Amino acid sequence: MWYLRLCGYRILAVRFKTPVGEVDIVARRGRTVAFIEVKSRPDLTRAAQAISPASQARIRNASTWFLASRPDLAQHNLRMDAMFVTPVTWLPVHLKGCIA
């Protein structure tokens, strides 16, 4: 989360849980709200493979619940991101808009 804050994001929720799934981080920067899935694996390839179609659906469903609880964000741009953390990189890798 510190990386996102340094990049100008404001953290809105962490581990936002709903009956239909969970979003690791919800962050806002300007008029964009990002729903971010965080994966920590030994390398970037394994981290990317860990985001399955089922987990993508879970993130989409949970994001819908989050937006229902925050109508003030309805007019913002929405984005589904992934953030990968590996032991061999100093900074996390943040892929914007990579989750369908």
Give residue-wise pLDDT tens across range 54-64.
989 999 999 99
DSSP structure string for 33-90: EEEEEEEE-SSHHHHHHTS-HHHHHHHHHHHHHHHHH-GGGTTSEEEEEEEEE-TT-S
Question: Whose CA is closest to 69, among 32, 38, 26?
Answer: 26
Identify whether the C-beta of residue 25 lies closer than 8 Å to the C-beta of residue 4. Answer: yes
pTM reported for the whole predicted model? 0.91
**Which stretches does DSSP call E strand in 2-53?**
10-18, 21-29, 32-40
Q: Which domains does the chain have, with CATH numbers?
A: 2-95 (3.40.1350.10)
Q: What is the pLDDT of residue 100?
A: 65
